[in-house]
A and B are shown apart, each in its own frame.
Chain A
């Protein structure tokens, strides 16, 4: 590598940490790394040797990642062997160290997941949450080791979560999905002077869900995107995977006047999430559009009293409650393993209110 390792490490670490406080998404870490890897490849090789150089780089990367993940497997087994009772004291420093080694091993996706581990320590049931995270990390390392035996879409998911780059061109080269997409949520998160914007979309006719991700240095404008409550006629190109969600806007044809989006019932959510997790067990963020949901102080209920809990860190959703006034509303929320994070609610006049 032509650049000093320390610089790469610093930059990659920053990308690894710049993910959201509430949800993790290994795909995001990969995305941050993509642009960086492209830039490095372009800068590092002369015009003639570029293709060959890339091939060598790719081979090097494969073996680095494999070595890094097998070290991760050993590290996890050691932790569980010795016991995790001291994790609150020793965890953060250990994880910092581990994340750094994973960045060096060019697995920024896994490094990002490790960087987010301290979040579980605030919860009362942190031992169970931590065991769950360790178990899923090991599952990812094992899946990568056995990648050749996996079906292609799942192999793509594993590689994306590990942090292998997927180029924009390859995503755009696949067939795009045209639909009237409702913009159902938007969230900007800033960390270390980098802002990540996620825009969640729901397709009217295909019923598909999508998430468009963009980055900008803090203080600089992000890609303009129609706000929640609008509907766009657009072609979306999905990143490959077993449960594709992340997408690029391949073509935007215009705005559509369509009113509030159709939604699913609260009682249908568990089956829907089970399906998503069956395809991609590492999923920790999935958009939902619910209709006929009555916001409560700590959850979203339907008229039969079934309720989905909210994420504990989201607090009482006062704005959502205020808009609902105790009546059923259409509401978009982000599913996470620990509960829902409300994104947008449509009021009685059909106007979208971001939460």
Chain B
């Protein structure tokens, strides 16, 4: 080596640090000929590059073996294209479908997906499933991806309740609750005081599956939890049990606040939000822009069993929903709307939707009816932001009726106001049954998206 570098002359014992320091301040100042400094530096730099010894590595502990099969090659290729930008709005559906099919993605795609999940919470649950053991291993190495460890993966092992991650334990509890509601509640109750506030707030909603009066004493005790999210979750469940103590307390409050007088209703908000109300899940501080007492009124109505109102006001739900209420009409209606959603009451949802078509209510209706009602709205309205927002609240896949109505609307709008159809076309592309592509020939962009989805779902089968 030295022959090629400098003709083999002895460079003397000048350290590299000394050469650098002389070069920094200037060789002239230290009375060193610059040429000889450069010559020595050349020799040393090549010697350092060539003589660089390996350092000590800190290899991570190996990842656990995978338990799920790899996604088929064509599906993986499509995912790579989607991650590169093609039809990226459909990524969520790809992930949901793959998660449901219990397949995992190729390892090299996991980092890109975990980066996406770091920005977009909505896909995290799916990522927990499709990234498999390798995903969790990577999440343990990169703090930015640690969120993945809170998501359930498939097939929780036996000791998961004692030793598993938060996500695994949640999955385990949900599965047990589905099989044996009492056993799940008892398991939860036994270790309740040792759980973290975060875990407590995600465990309570799991009891919604198979909820009954047997859960009432436990949920009532959870109302004393230190963490507001935990209390709130328990209160939301208790309002679904009309004979729960919370439901009775709320009913007593509601009885004084909303009263009937023939066909006219009257509402009077609470004067204060006392400790008992707060314990029952009423939040004292209103969201920005909302009147404080009206906010309390809305929450009391929202947590009162809907079955209370027809007797109390002497009217069936559809009349109540349409009745005029004077000053506090907005707050009371919002309360009922929230109650219909919390208590999943289709009759009330229907009645309220007729008075005011709020998308959130559609979710409570049976799919066929939801599709019909949305279709009616679409037929009678011009395409605007409100319609797109309403449709945005109707989950995939849209029923035949709604799809037909939307397609008709798109074709009309494309003809008269093409600039207005874009967002609706994109939404339709995501929500239609992909088999509709055969009928969407008039809207090439829509047909292309539907064909893409149709192929995408076929590959994942």
Q: Return the contact of B50 from the options A78, A134, A278 (Cβ within 8 A).
A: A278
A308 located at the interface, meaning its Cβ lies under 8 Å from any Cβ of chain B in the complex: yes
How far, in angstroms, from A305 to B57 measured CA to CA in the complex?
A: 5
Known A297-B141, A325-B62: A85·B25 in contact at CB below 8 Å: yes
Q: Return the contact of B63 from the options A81, A307, A319, A326 (Cβ within 8 A).
A: A326
Within 8 A of B (CB), among A74-126: 76-85
Chain A residues, CB < 8 A from B50: 270, 273-274, 277-278
> Can you name the residue of chain A whose Cβ is closest to the Cβ of B29?
A83
How far, in angstroms, from A353 to B108 measured CA to CA in the complex?
A: 7
* Residue of B57, B63, B111 with highest tally of chain A CB at under 10 A: B57
B1 located at the interface, meaning its Cβ lies under 8 Å from any Cβ of chain A in the complex: yes
Chain A residues, CB < 8 A from B59: 294-296, 301, 305, 326
How far, in angstroms, from A299 to B142 measured CA to CA in the complex?
A: 16
Known A134-B38, A316-B142, A318-B142: A281·B1 in contact at CB below 8 Å: yes
Are A81 and B28 neighbours in the complex by a CB distance under 8 Å? yes
Are A138 and B46 neighbours in the complex by a CB distance under 8 Å? no
Q: Return the contact of B23 from the options A84, A300, A318 (Cβ within 8 A).
A: A84
Q: Return the contact of B54 from the options A277, A306, A327 (Cβ within 8 A).
A: A306
Known A80-B38, A138-B42, A326-B137: A127·B63 in contact at CB below 8 Å: no
Chain A residues, CB < 8 A from B63: 325-327
B192 located at the interface, meaning its Cβ lies under 8 Å from any Cβ of chain A in the complex: no
B218 located at the interface, meaning its Cβ lies under 8 Å from any Cβ of chain A in the complex: no
Chain B residues, CB < 8 A from A232: none
> Can you name the residue of chain A whose Cβ is closest to the Cβ of B65?
A325
Q: Return the contact of B41 from the options A135, A309, A347 (Cβ within 8 A).
A: A135
Q: Return the contact of B55 from the options A139, A299, A323, A325 (Cβ within 8 A).
A: A299
Chain B residues, CB < 8 A from A299: 55, 57
Chain A residues, CB < 8 A from B49: 273, 277, 337
Chain A residues, CB < 8 A from B25: 83, 85
Within 8 A of A (CB), among B132-186: 134, 137-138, 141-142
* Residue of A278, A322, A327, A345 with highest tally of chain B CB at under 10 A: A322
Shortest distance between the CB of B198 and any CB in chain A (Å): 27
Q: Return the contact of B107 from the options A134, A309, A323 (Cβ within 8 A).
A: A323
Known A307-B56, A321-B138: A81·B38 in contact at CB below 8 Å: no
A267 located at the interface, meaning its Cβ lies under 8 Å from any Cβ of chain B in the complex: yes
Are B4 and A278 neighbours in the complex by a CB distance under 8 Å? yes
Q: What DSSP secondary structure best describes chain B's contact surface?
A: helix
Are A128 and B38 neighbours in the complex by a CB distance under 8 Å? no
Are A326 and B62 neighbours in the complex by a CB distance under 8 Å? yes
How far, in angstroms, from A80 to B21 measured CA to CA in the complex?
A: 11
Interface size on A, residues (CB 8 A): 59
Chain B residues, CB < 8 A from A134: 23, 38, 41
B435 located at the interface, meaning its Cβ lies under 8 Å from any Cβ of chain A in the complex: no
B45 located at the interface, meaning its Cβ lies under 8 Å from any Cβ of chain A in the complex: yes
B84 located at the interface, meaning its Cβ lies under 8 Å from any Cβ of chain A in the complex: no
Are A307 and B23 neighbours in the complex by a CB distance under 8 Å? no
A279 located at the interface, meaning its Cβ lies under 8 Å from any Cβ of chain B in the complex: yes
Q: Return the contact of A325 from the options B37, B39, B42, B137 (Cβ within 8 A).
A: B137
Known A278-B1, A281-B1, A325-B134: A269·B54 in contact at CB below 8 Å: yes
Chain B residues, CB < 8 A from A85: 24-26
Chain B residues, CB < 8 A from A307: 54-58
Are A154 and B19 neighbours in the complex by a CB distance under 8 Å? no
A51 located at the interface, meaning its Cβ lies under 8 Å from any Cβ of chain B in the complex: no
Shortest distance between the CB of B425 and any CB in chain A (Å): 29
Shortest distance between the CB of A227 and any CB in chain B (Å): 13
Chain B residues, CB < 8 A from A81: 26-28, 34
Are A281 and B23 neighbours in the complex by a CB distance under 8 Å? no
Shortest distance between the CB of B54 and any CB in chain A (Å): 4
Q: What DSSP secondary structure best describes chain A's contact surface?
A: helix
B110 located at the interface, meaning its Cβ lies under 8 Å from any Cβ of chain A in the complex: yes
Are B4 and A154 neighbours in the complex by a CB distance under 8 Å? yes
Are B51 and A80 neighbours in the complex by a CB distance under 8 Å? no
Known A270-B52, A294-B59: A82·B26 in contact at CB below 8 Å: yes
Chain B residues, CB < 8 A from A305: 56-57, 59
A262 located at the interface, meaning its Cβ lies under 8 Å from any Cβ of chain B in the complex: no
Shortest distance between the CB of B118 and any CB in chain A (Å): 12
Known A277-B1, A299-B57, A305-B57: A325·B34 in contact at CB below 8 Å: no
How far, in angstroms, from A279 to B3 measured CA to CA in the complex?
A: 9
Shortest distance between the CB of A242 and any CB in chain B (Å): 8
Shortest distance between the CB of B67 and any CB in chain A (Å): 14
A44 located at the interface, meaning its Cβ lies under 8 Å from any Cβ of chain B in the complex: no
* Residue of A132, A136, A267, A353 with highest tally of chain B CB at under 10 A: A132
How far, in angstroms, from A306 to B142 measured CA to CA in the complex?
A: 23
B60 located at the interface, meaning its Cβ lies under 8 Å from any Cβ of chain A in the complex: yes
B213 located at the interface, meaning its Cβ lies under 8 Å from any Cβ of chain A in the complex: no
B194 located at the interface, meaning its Cβ lies under 8 Å from any Cβ of chain A in the complex: no
Are B5 and A131 neighbours in the complex by a CB distance under 8 Å? no
Residues 53-83 of A, flagged 1 when their CB comes within 8 A of B and 0 if not, give 0000000000000000000010011111111
Residues 275-295 of A, flagged 1 when their CB comes within 8 A of B and 0 if not, give 001111100000000000011
Are A128 and B26 neighbours in the complex by a CB distance under 8 Å? no
How far, in angstroms, from A325 to B6 measured CA to CA in the complex?
A: 45
How far, in angstroms, from A80 to B138 measured CA to CA in the complex?
A: 47
Shortest distance between the CB of B41 and any CB in chain A (Å): 4
B274 located at the interface, meaning its Cβ lies under 8 Å from any Cβ of chain A in the complex: no
* Residue of B1, B45, B52, B58 with highest tally of chain A CB at under 10 A: B45
Shortest distance between the CB of A70 and any CB in chain B (Å): 12
B35 located at the interface, meaning its Cβ lies under 8 Å from any Cβ of chain A in the complex: yes
> Can you name the residue of chain B whose Cβ is closest to the Cβ of A284?
B49
B16 located at the interface, meaning its Cβ lies under 8 Å from any Cβ of chain A in the complex: yes
Are A138 and B55 neighbours in the complex by a CB distance under 8 Å? no
Residues 171-211 of A, flagged 1 when their CB comes within 8 A of B and 0 if not, give 00000000000000000000000000000000000000000
Are B38 and A319 neighbours in the complex by a CB distance under 8 Å? no
Q: Return the contact of A281 from the options B4, B24, B53, B110 (Cβ within 8 A).
A: B4
How far, in angstroms, from A184 to B337 measured CA to CA in the complex?
A: 62
How far, in angstroms, from A306 to B137 measured CA to CA in the complex?
A: 23
Chain A residues, CB < 8 A from B6: 139
B347 located at the interface, meaning its Cβ lies under 8 Å from any Cβ of chain A in the complex: no
A247 located at the interface, meaning its Cβ lies under 8 Å from any Cβ of chain B in the complex: no
Shortest distance between the CB of A20 and any CB in chain B (Å): 18
Are B107 and A80 neighbours in the complex by a CB distance under 8 Å? no
A245 located at the interface, meaning its Cβ lies under 8 Å from any Cβ of chain B in the complex: no
* Residue of A80, A295, A297, A309 with highest tally of chain B CB at under 10 A: A80
* Residue of A280, A305, A326 with highest tally of chain B CB at under 10 A: A326
List the 4 closest pairs (A to B, CB-CB), nearest first.
Answer: A301-B57, A307-B57, A83-B26, A135-B41
Cβ contacts A to B, 12 pairs, < 8 Å: A80-B37, A128-B16, A134-B41, A135-B39, A136-B45, A154-B4, A274-B50, A274-B51, A281-B46, A319-B108, A325-B137, A347-B108
Residues of A at the B interface (CB closer than 8 Å) are 73, 76-85, 127-128, 131-132, 134-136, 138-139, 154, 242, 266-267, 269-270, 273-274, 277-281, 294-297, 299-302, 305-309, 316, 318-319, 321-323, 325-327, 337, 345, 347, 353
Residues of B at the A interface (CB closer than 8 Å) are 1, 4-6, 16, 19-20, 23-29, 34-35, 37-39, 41-42, 45-46, 49-63, 106-108, 110-111, 134, 137-138, 141-142
- 5 extra A-B contacts, CB within 8 A, seeds A267-B54, A294-B59, A296-B59: A274-B50, A301-B59, A307-B54, A319-B108, A326-B61
